[in-house]
């Protein structure tokens, strides 16, 4: 690769600075803007460390499984362990079952730790996990079941921080195992992890060098630490900063805009590498930036303008992306609104939760085992008035939803309360594992529920057949052996029936796929029907063609993406839609003018805007609906007067 053949002067300087710090046993931080090649620098440092220290082991911690795979492919070495932070932590504590149990129980009984509690237990005995017919081992899974010793992602972070804080020996064990620990995209790393690395590990005398790679300006997740400014310095456990100022991705116009957005003093410049992706015959691409606005919020007008006047092709998902803040803003455009409403806007289930919380908070011991939801509501409302009655009534927004969905509410009222009370539903169960393009690798550990997983299996089996991956198709399905031309024709007709579904419902297609042996109804789906029948009954009546549109969106076959999901990706043409979708955590006006919003909101909005803008490899367009005169004035300052266009 050209990137591997040539290191420009900036890279040499940065690389040498880092190696000097490593040789001096100093922890370090490499800060660099979008498209600066931070991962490339990380790879170069890992390779050099392994070359210079052939017997030591190196740990590289990164944010996603896709990044794990990328680094493993670029550095294939037996002494390198690349993992996500959760896998890294679990790998280092999982064998200490006695300490794990003691720590969990201590956290259960700590009043200040609200996230780790077992329902109905105010005090957890020390032998809680041992006093069973069969002893329990602590496990790390995708789901949470604390009664059985099963923790998930958030709980693992809390537990790990506690254990490293309490058991100093763990620090020595990690440092014996790894002499170097490098963290990619450090700004997304949780505060607990940084504490472990920079506060707890240095307490012991054994040597271990910690290196961070990332960009505080791209800290767009609230769970991440954002920056490690508090740890910069010369003291024990502190880090020395090295800045990386080149840009290898964006054209000149985007770099200029991005520099105006940054607040940390990093001013990017063109790469000295003439083979960099943003170079043409040794010259930096010019590119283009546009600020478009209108009193009409119809995005199709914007797409038409860009297609007609600038040649953008919105049918090519690999080259052109429209970035919206939320999935809800995309649902109508991509054609999966009904499914989105089921998973994200069911206020009857919100009312159910309100009732359930009331029962718990008021220690109501009534046996509701054989009661319907309606009977439970009636019982709780009986004899109440005023404020007390309001506590067990729907809120105004819930009531509005109920009034608009009378049949659904009647159905819920007659539903078994013991089943309905256990139903939790959120948009991640529908939308998790979003790809940016159809050749993206899927991440491990999708949160999709078993109904949506089953529908994905149907579509993937169809794709396997269409892609002529017949052996894999036969392995994944229960399709009978194909022996004759007639068998082939039957299979082809079955597949086409499942593609061209017309007005068939999701349930009809599930049954068709089962009968055709394309995708058998399994125990997981049957269990979903039993445990979440309310959800299944809502989804089953939706047209399967809508799910097909959802599938295309999640598989990266459409030009749409959320702004958060696009982090780390890049496209020729990027349209950024500045609409907060009613999400109060963001306010895009505050990016351009001081409008009195909190610093957190302003910072959060600016960072996501920066990330979105820097995805563009060729052309960037920003659309703002109904901006104020002050916003337009700032846009002219940033984009240039000729690039600020009123679409009217």
What is residue 10's predicted lDDT score, i.e. its pLDDT? Answer: 47
Burial of 332 (0-12, 13-18, 19+ CB in 10 A): exposed
Contacts of 319 (CB under 8 A, 6+ apart): 313, 571, 572, 573
CA-closest candidate to residue 118, choices 142, 162, 148, 97: 148
What is residue 9's predicted lDDT score, i.e. its pLDDT? Answer: 47
Average pLDDT over residues 427-433: 88
Per-residue pLDDT at 35 exceeds 70: yes
Average pLDDT over residues 105-114: 92
Range from 12-21, 248-257, 377-386, 591-600 carrying the lowest mean pLDDT: 12-21
Average pLDDT along the chain = 92
Per-residue pLDDT at 106 exceeds 50: yes
Tokens found for residue 518:
């394309």
What is residue 445's predicted lDDT score, i.e. its pLDDT? Answer: 52
Residue 437 vs residue 529, higher pLDDT: 529
CA–CA separation, 10 and 372 (whole Å):
69
Per-residue pLDDT at 621 exceeds 50: yes
Show the DSSP H helices in 382-436 as ranges.
386-390, 396-404, 406-413, 417-420, 428-431
How much of the chain exceeds pLDDT 90, in percent? 78
Show the DSSP H helices in 276-372 as ranges.
299-310, 327-334, 337-344, 347-361
Contacts of 134 (CB under 8 A, 6+ apart): none
Host H or E run for residue 619: strand 616-625
- What does the pLDDT look like over 552-586, one tens digit per residue? 999 999 999 999 989 889 999 999 999 998 889 99
Average pLDDT over residues 516-534: 94
Average pLDDT over residues 40-67: 92
Average pLDDT over residues 95-114: 94
Q: How confident is the model at residue 6 (pLDDT cuts 50, 70, 90)?
A: very low
What angle is formed at CA 36 by the lines to CA 33 and CA 40, rounded to 5 degrees? 130
Average pLDDT over residues 188-202: 95
| Residue 255 near residue 269, CB atoms below 8 Å | yes
Per-residue pLDDT at 5 exceeds 70: no
Tokens found for residue 365:
């011991």
Average pLDDT over residues 609-630: 97
Residue 11 vs residue 258, higher pLDDT: 258
Average pLDDT over residues 158-186: 96
What is residue 436's predicted lDDT score, i.e. its pLDDT? Answer: 63
Whole-structure pTM value: 0.87
Backbone angles phi, psi at 438, to 5 degrees: -75, -5
| Residue 6 near residue 275, CB atoms below 8 Å | yes
Residue 164 vs residue 445, higher pLDDT: 164
CA-closest candidate to residue 64, choices 565, 452, 555, 612: 565
Range from 217-221, 234-238, 276-280, 633-637 carrying the lowest mean pLDDT: 234-238
- What does the pLDDT look like over 449-499, one tens digit per residue? 999 999 999 999 999 988 889 888 888 887 888 889 998 899 889 899 998
CA–CA separation, 436 and 447 (whole Å):
17
Length of the chain: 648
Range from 81-85, 131-135, 185-189, 294-298 carrying the lowest mean pLDDT: 131-135
- What does the pLDDT look like over 294-306, one tens digit per residue? 999 999 999 999 9
Average pLDDT over residues 270-278: 90
What is residue 4's predicted lDDT score, i.e. its pLDDT? Answer: 43
């Amino acid at each position: 690769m050209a990137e591997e053949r040539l290191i420009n002067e900036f890279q040499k300087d940065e690389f040498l600075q880092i190696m000097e710090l490593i040789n001096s046993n100093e922890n370090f931080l490499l800060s660099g803007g979008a498209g600066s090649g931070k991962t490339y620098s990380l790879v170069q440092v890992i390779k050099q460390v392994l070359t210079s220290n052939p017997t030591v082991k190196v740990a590289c911690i990164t944010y996603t499984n896709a990044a794990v795979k990328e680094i493993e492919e670029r550095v294939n070495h037996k002494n390198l362990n690349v993992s996500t932070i959760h896998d890294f932590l679990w790998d280092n504590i999982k064998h200490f079952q006695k300490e794990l149990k003691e720590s969990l129980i201590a956290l259960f009984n700590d009043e200040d730790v609200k996230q780790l509690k077992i329902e109905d237990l105010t005090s957890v005995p020390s032998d809680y996990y041992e006093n069973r017919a069969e002893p329990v081992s602590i496990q790390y899974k995708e789901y949470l079941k604390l009664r059985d010793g099963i923790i998930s992602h958030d709980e693992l972070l809390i537990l790990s921080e506690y254990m490293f804080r309490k058991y100093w020996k763990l620090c020595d064990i990690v440092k014996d195992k790894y002499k170097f620990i490098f963290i990619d995209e450090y700004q997304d790393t949780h505060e607990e992890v940084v504490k472990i690395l920079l506060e707890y590990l240095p307490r012991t005398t054994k040597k271990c060098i910690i290196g961070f790679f990332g960009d505080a300006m791209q800290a767009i997740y609230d769970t991440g630490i954002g920056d490690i400014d508090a740890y910069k310095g010369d003291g024990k456990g502190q880090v020395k900063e090295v800045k990386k100022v080149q840009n290898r991705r964006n054209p000149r116009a985007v770099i200029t805009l991005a520099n105006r957005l940054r607040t940390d003093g990093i001013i990017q410049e063109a790469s000295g590498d003439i083979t960099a992706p943003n170079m043409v015959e040794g010259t930096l691409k010019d590119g283009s930036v546009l600020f478009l606005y209108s009193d009409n919020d119809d995005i199709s007008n914007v797409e038409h303008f860009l297609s007609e006047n600038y040649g953008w092709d919105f049918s090519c998902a690999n080259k052109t992306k429209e970035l919206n803040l939320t999935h809800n803003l995309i649902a109508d455009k991509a054609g999966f609104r009904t499914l989105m409403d089921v998973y994200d806007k069911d206020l009857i289930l919100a009312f159910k939760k309100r009732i359930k919380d009331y029962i718990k908070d008021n220690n109501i011991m009534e046996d509701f085992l054989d009661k319907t939801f309606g009977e439970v509501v009636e019982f709780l409302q009986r004899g109440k008035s005023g404020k007390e009655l309001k506590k067990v009534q729907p809120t105004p927004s819930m009531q509005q939803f109920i009034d608009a969905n009378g049949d659904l509410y009647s159905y819920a009222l007659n539903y078994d309360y013991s089943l309905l009370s256990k139903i939790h539903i959120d948009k991640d169960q529908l939308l998790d594992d979003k790809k940016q393009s159809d050749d993206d690798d899927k991440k491990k550990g999708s949160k999709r529920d078993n109904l949506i997983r089953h529908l994905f299996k149907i579509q993937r089996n169809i794709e396997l057949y269409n892609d002529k991956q017949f052996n894999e198709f036969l392995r994944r399905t229960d399709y009978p052996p194909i022996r004759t031309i007639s068998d082939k024709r039957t299979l082809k007709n079955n597949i086409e029936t499942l593609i061209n579904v017309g007005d068939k419902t999701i349930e009809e297609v599930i049954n068709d796929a089962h009968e055709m042996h394309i995708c058998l109804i399994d125990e997981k789906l049957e269990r979903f029907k039993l445990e979440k029948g309310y959800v299944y009954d809502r989804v089953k009546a939706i047209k399967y063609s809508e799910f097909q549109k959802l599938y295309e969106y999640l598989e990266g076959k459409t030009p749409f993406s959320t702004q958060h999901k696009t982090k780390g990706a890049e496209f020729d043409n990027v349209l950024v839609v500045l609409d907060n979708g009613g999400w109060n955590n963001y306010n895009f006006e505050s990016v351009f003018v001081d409008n009195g919003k909190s610093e957190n909101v302003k910072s959060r909005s600016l960072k996501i805007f920066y990330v979105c803008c820097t995805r563009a490899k060729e052309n960037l367009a920003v659309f703002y609906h109904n901006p104020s005169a002050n916003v337009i004035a700032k846009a002219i300052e940033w984009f240039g007067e000729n690039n600020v266009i009123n679409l009217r």
